[in-house]
């Protein structure tokens, strides 16, 4: 499937929840931009964009099942759900494994392995920080301690006026 086709499928999956849809579209846009600015190869860029689109796939289930979208439950449930979601996408087994890993770790900020993982975390942070009005100090801390890509640091600094 193309990125657009996967986005359309994720919109259908989101069942009219405009908050969820707006969030993943924004995370995807930032991830795509940072990935391109960092010069990712096309395969890594493709996986990154699919992970950005699907990273919060477990949010509706977690709200219903646990009453919250706590990071650890969401990661564990999402890692499984995304495999089913992508089963008709034409992705290879190893591509699905990587997307599942990324969805399953997107709230884990220790031992970030791989540029796709790093950029997903940066893009999700930008979307969450603006949605939830994080303080300047929080953004500065993220740029100093968690953000690693040059493009990601630049964009976070520009978006939040650091
Ligand atoms: Fe997110």
Whole-number mean pLDDT of the chain? 96
CA distances from 75 to 7, 30, 69, 99, 113 (A): 20, 21, 10, 12, 16
Tally of CB atoms within 10 A around 157: 14
* Cα 75 to averaged position of ligand 1 atoms, centre (Å): 11
Share of the chain above pLDDT 90, in %: 93
Mean pLDDT of 141-158: 98
- pLDDT number for residue 64: 87
Q: Is there a contact between 101 and 87 (Cβ–Cβ < 8 Å)?
A: no
pLDDT in tens, 72-129: 889 999 999 999 999 999 999 999 999 999 999 999 999 999 999 999 999 999 999 9
The pLDDT of residue 70: 81
Rounded to an integer, the average pLDDT of 36-62 is: 97
Is residue 95 within 8 A of residue 102, CB to CB? The reply is: no
59 Cα–ligand 1 center, Å: 9
- The separation between the first and the last C-alpha atoms of the chain, rounded to the nearest angstrom, is 38
**Separation of 132 CA from ligand 1 center, angstroms?**
12
Distance 94 CA to ligand 1 centre (A): 23
**DSSP, res 57:** T
Q: For residue 93, report the distance from its CA to the centre of ligand 1, in Å.
A: 24
pLDDT, one tens digit per residue, over 54-76 is 999 999 899 988 888 888 889 99
Cα of 121 from ligand 1 centre, angstroms: 9
Give distance in angstroms: CA of 23 to centre of ligand 1: 7
The span from the CA of 147 to the CA of 143, in Å, is: 5
d(CA 122, ligand 1 centre) in Å: 10
Q: Average pLDDT for residues 23-35, to the nearest whole number? A: 98
Measure Cα distances from 91 to 82, 111, 131, 161 in Å: 12, 26, 32, 39
């Amino acid at each position: 499937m193309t990125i657009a086709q996967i986005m359309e499928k994720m919109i259908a999956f989101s069942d009219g929840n405009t908050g969820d849809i707006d969030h993943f579209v924004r995370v995807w846009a930032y991830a795509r931009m940072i990935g391109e600015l960092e010069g990712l190869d096309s395969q890594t860029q493709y996986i990154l964009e699919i992970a950005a689109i699907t990273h919060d796939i477990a949010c509706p289930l977690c709200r219903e099942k646990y009453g919250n979208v706590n990071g650890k439950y969401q990661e564990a449930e999402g890692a499984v759900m995304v495999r089913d979601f992508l089963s008709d996408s034409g992705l290879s087994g190893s591509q699905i494994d990587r997307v599942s890993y990324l969805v399953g770790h997107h709230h884990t900020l220790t031992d970030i392995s791989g540029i796709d993982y790093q950029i997903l975390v940066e893009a999700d942070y930008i979307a969450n920080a603006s949605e939830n009005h994080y303080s300047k100090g929080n953004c500065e801390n993220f740029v100093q301690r968690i953000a690693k890509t040059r493009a990601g640091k630049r964009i976070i600094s520009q978006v939040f006026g650091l």
